């Protein structure tokens, strides 16, 4: 039976689910990466598809934005569709100075200011962490491993970046694109926040990037005894006024999807 938020019947989702925030990104992944993908849900415009990749069943379902939204979809997938593993395919704002747009961050931990997670276990500061096996497999697929301090450089990608100051000039910008990093992210409840001291302290504590869902996904996976990971493409740089357009954010996820599919295969 369908859930309040997912229209699929039991059995229509694969055990492994890729989960972008944006429904159009879900559609694009289904159309360009999966074989024989068919739509299994469209409730509230949150699109979901099931197909195969390299002969393995794989689904993709959008999460919407924020911890409350991803928590609903992840809980319903784990609890009512027997989904075993979810990998978030997200975008994130780069915080650490060495990051560039197009780089990929595999979230080894997720700090959060969300009350949803902060009060999950009363009296505890809950640690939001991914599945080790998924994270290790994704990192290996990204060329990272023990004793390899410098991330693998993958082929350059050309992106159209936008200088946000005054919403004005666009300029062509060749990124180092596709460098893969593993480290903590901030899963923020607030997109438009003005708190430079907090962000600076997080960077000083090794935080790489900010997004809005990983902590919720990791907590739900722990609660439901399932596995999860977040892999995010850097879509803008918080301290450099560099930002990708909405259209660019929709398409610049190939590397993250490849790492996610490799993690499903090897994790």
Ligand X SMILES: O=P(O)(O)O[C@H]1O[C@H](CO)[C@@H](O)[C@H]1O
Ligand Y SMILES: O=c1cc[nH]c(=O)[nH]1
Q: What is the C-alpha separation between 44 and 69, in angstroms, rounded?
A: 12
Report residue 241 as tokens.
């006024």
Does residue 184 belong to the site contacting ligand Y (CB under 6 A)?
no
Quote the DSSP letter at residue 102.
Answer: T
How many Cβ atoms are within 10 Å of 98's Cβ, its own excluded? Answer: 11
The 75-104 contact track toward ligand X, x by CB under 6 A, reads: ---------------xx-------------
CA dihedral 33, 99, 220, 35 (to 10 degrees): 0
Choose the stretch contacting ligand Y; rule: CB under 6 A; options: 140-148, 161-169, 197-205, 232-240.
232-240
Query: Scanning residues 167 to 206, which ones bind ligand X (CB under 6 A)?
Result: 191
Residue keyed to tokens 């660019």: 248
Q: From the list 16, 22, 100, 222, which residue makes contact with ligand X (rule: CB under 6 A)?
A: 22
Q: From the list 12, 17, 18, 20, which residue makes contact with ligand X (rule: CB under 6 A)?
A: 20
Does residue 211 belong to the site contacting ligand X (CB under 6 A)?
yes
Q: What is the C-alpha separation between 73 and 196, in angstroms, rounded?
A: 32
Which helix (DSSP H) or strand (DSSP E) does residue 180 occupy? strand 180-187
Does residue 65 belong to the site contacting ligand X (CB under 6 A)?
yes
Catalytic residue among 200, 236, 241, 266, which?
236
CB 83 within 8 A of CB 226: yes
Report residue 31 as tokens.
């159309």
Q: Which is nearer to ligand X, 11 or 68 (CB)?
A: 68
The 235-264 contact track toward ligand Y, x by CB under 6 A, reads: xx-x--------------------------
Q: What is the C-alpha separation between 43 and 117, in angstroms, rounded?
A: 26
User: Is residue 103 flagged as an active site residue?
Assistant: no
Does residue 212 belong to the site contacting ligand X (CB under 6 A)?
yes
The 33-62 contact track toward ligand X, x by CB under 6 A, reads: ------------------------------
Q: Are strands 242-244 and 104-112 parallel, antiparallel or unpaired?
A: unpaired
User: Least distance to ligand Y from the beta carbon of 107, Å?
Assistant: 12
How many Cβ atoms are within 10 Å of 4's Cβ, its own excluded? Answer: 9
Active-site residue set: 236
Residues near ligand Y (CB under 6 A) are 91-93, 191, 210-212, 235-236, 238
């Amino acid at each position: 039976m369908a859930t309040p938020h997912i229209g699929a019947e039991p059995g229509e989702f694969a055990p492994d689910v890729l989960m972008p925030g944006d429904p159009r990104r879900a559609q694009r992944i289904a159309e360009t990466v999966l074989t024989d993908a068919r739509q299994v849900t469209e409730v509230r415009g949150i699109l979901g598809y099931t197909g195969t990749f390299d002969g393995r069943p794989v689904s993709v379902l959008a999460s919407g934005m924020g911890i409350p939204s991803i928590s609903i979809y992840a809980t319903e997938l784990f609890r009512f569709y027997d989904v075993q593993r979810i990998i978030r395919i997200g975008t994130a704002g780069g915080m650490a100075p060495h990051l560039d747009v197009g780089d990929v961050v595999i979230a080894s931990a997720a700090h959060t200011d969300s009350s949803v997670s902060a009060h999950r276990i009363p009296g505890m500061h809950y640690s939001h962490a991914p599945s080790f096996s998924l994270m290790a497999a994704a990192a290996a697929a990204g060329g990272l491993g023990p004793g390899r301090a410098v991330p693998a450089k993958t082929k350059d990608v050309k992106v159209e970046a936008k200088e946000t100051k005054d919403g004005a000039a666009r300029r062509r910008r060749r990124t180092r694109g596709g460098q893969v990093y593993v480290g903590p992210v901030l899963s923020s409840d607030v997109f438009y926040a003005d708190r430079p001291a907090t962000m600076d302290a997080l960077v000083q504590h090794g935080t790489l990037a900010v997004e809005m869902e990983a902590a919720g996904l990791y907590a739900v996976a722990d609660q439901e005894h399932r596995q999860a990971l977040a892999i995010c493409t850097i879509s803008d740089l918080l301290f450099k006024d560099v930002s990708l357009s909405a259209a660019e954010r929709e398409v610049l996820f190939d590397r993250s999807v490849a790492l996610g599919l490799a993690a499903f295969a090897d994790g």
